[in-house]
């Protein structure tokens, strides 16, 4: 496994692989890797070669968010990548990705209006822009994204289709801790009490799954049962709990054929997300 910091080195390596007729899978990340990221790297192993990018993208953070404190540890990440079978890590500096006179952005309507797009303005503009750039640098056959960031997955699929990117976008299941908490680099912010309190997210998701599986279709009823669980935890403060259409990411009053139940909750100062994909019948 090699670690490179420049766009030129990625391009030269990938070009050589292409000359050899090899396929390339790509996993974009912000680093501080855990088993969730490793599951994507392993899934990307269906290609001949796997590229992982590690880049904490300033453009997708709001001015009051955790860009400065976001955990970074390249040595730890190298081990996790190598364990999971990556061939190349691309870990650029901010200056390598954004020249001083950078002016171009990729943006999206509709799908970015609700959920994290509503409470994190400009977040998806940053995500779409950096992922487009990374796609242009790596030029993979397939790219792998976690269902943990369900809206992001929908946005990237839409972007790839709208902009005729010749890349297959593959969604991978949420990897959880044994007690149900979805794995996240941000879990490292939690102290012992907050770590316990954070279980309300997965409990609320399970509650939604139970209700939907038992035939409940009214969104307000499901959201109210989830809210009751979150509100009972003193360290938790709801950012949003919403049920949206899988196609438009807009809220739906009744679940018809498939829906995304998504929530974002502050545990102390840490904002965590979780969701349940109902694929419909
Ligand atoms: P991040 O480093 O948080 O930007 O995440 C990079 C990729 O890993 C995204 O596609 C995430 O959806 C995915 N990911 C993060 N946590 C998990 C998890 N617990 N299970 C599955 N995928 C995940």
Angle (nearest 5°) at CA 116 between 222 and 249: 60
Q: Among this protein's residues, is 37 annotated catalytic?
A: yes
Ligand 1 centroid – CA 181 distance (Å)? 13
Residue 276: predicted pLDDT:
98
Q: Is the CB of 36 under 6 A from ligand 1?
A: yes
Q: Which residue minimizes the CA distance to atom 17 of ligand 1?
A: 36
Instruction: Please give the structure tokens belonging to residue 2.
Output: 């090699």
Domain boundaries, the chain: 2-172, 185-274
Task: Say which DSSP state 47 is in.
Answer: S
- Residue with CA nearest ligand 1 atom 11: 146
Q: Rounded distance, CA 206 to CA 197, Å? A: 15
**What does each of the 281 residues of the chain score in pLDDT, given as a tens digit?**
999 999 999 999 999 999 999 999 999 999 999 999 999 999 999 999 999 999 999 999 999 999 999 999 999 999 999 999 999 999 999 999 999 999 999 999 999 999 999 999 999 999 999 999 999 999 999 999 999 999 999 999 999 999 999 999 999 999 999 999 999 999 999 999 999 999 999 999 999 999 999 999 999 999 999 999 999 999 999 999 999 999 999 999 999 989 999 999 999 999 999 999 999 87
Task: Yes or no: say if 136 and 3 are a contact pair by the CB < 8 Å rule.
Answer: no
- Rounded to an integer, what distance in angstroms lies between the CA atom of residue 211 and that of residue 154? 24
> pTM of the entire structure?
0.98
The CATH number of the domain covering residues in 185-274 = 3.30.1300.10
Give the strands of the sheet with 259-267, arranged side by side.
236-244, 259-267, 270-278
What ligand 1 atom has the least distance to the C-alpha of 145?
10
Is the CATH number 3.40.640.10 carried by domain 2-172? no
- Position in ligand 1 atom list of the atom nearest CA 173: 21
Q: Are residues 109 and 249 in contact, defined by beta-carbon separation less than 8 angstroms? A: no
Q: Which residues have CB under 8 Å from 158's CB, separation 6+?
A: 108, 111
**Which atom of ligand 1 is the closest one to the Cα of 28?**
6
Residue nearest to atom 18 of ligand 1 (CA): 36
Q: Residue 280: its pLDDT value, please?
A: 87
Pairing relationship of beta strands 236-244 and 88-90 according to DSSP bridges: unpaired
Q: For Cα atoms 81, 266, 215, give the angle at the middle one, nearest 5 degrees.
A: 90
**126 contacts 67 by C-beta, under 8 angstroms:** no
CA distance from start to end of the chain: 43
């Amino acid at each position: 496994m090699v670690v490179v910091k420049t766009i030129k080195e990625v391009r030269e390596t990938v070009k050589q692989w292409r000359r050899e007729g090899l396929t390339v899978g790509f996993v974009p990340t912000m680093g501080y890797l855990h088993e969730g990221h490793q599951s994507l790297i392993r899934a990307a192993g269906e290609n001949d070669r796997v590229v992982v990018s590690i880049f904490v993208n300033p453009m997708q953070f709001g001015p009051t968010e955790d860009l400065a404190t976001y955990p970074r540890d390249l040595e730890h990440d190298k081990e996790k990548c190598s364990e999971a079978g990556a061939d190349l890590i691309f870990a650029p500096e901010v200056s390598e990705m954004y020249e001083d006179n950078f002016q171009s952005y990729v943006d999206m309507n509709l799908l970015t209006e609700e959920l994290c797009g509503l409470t994190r303005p400009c977040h998806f503009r940053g995500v779409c822009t950096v992922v487009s750039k990374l796609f242009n640098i790596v030029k993979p056959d397939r790219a792998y994204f976690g269902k943990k960031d369900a809206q992001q997955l929908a946005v990237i699929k839409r972007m790839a289709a709208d902009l005729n990117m010749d890349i297959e976008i593959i969604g991978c299941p949420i990897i959880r801790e044994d007690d149900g908490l979805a794995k996240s680099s941000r879990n490292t912010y939690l102290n012992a009490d907050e770590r316990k309190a954070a279980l309300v997210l997965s409990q609320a998701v399970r509650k939604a799954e139970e209700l939907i599986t038992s035939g409940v279709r009214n969104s307000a009823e499901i959201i109210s049962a989830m809210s009751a669980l979150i509100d009972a935890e003193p360290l938790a403060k709801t950012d949003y709990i919403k049920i949206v259409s899988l196609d438009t990411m807009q809220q739906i009053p009744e679940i018809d054929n498939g829906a995304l139940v998504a929530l974002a909750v502050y545990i102390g100062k840490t904002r965590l997300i979780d969701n349940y994909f109902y694929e419909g019948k």
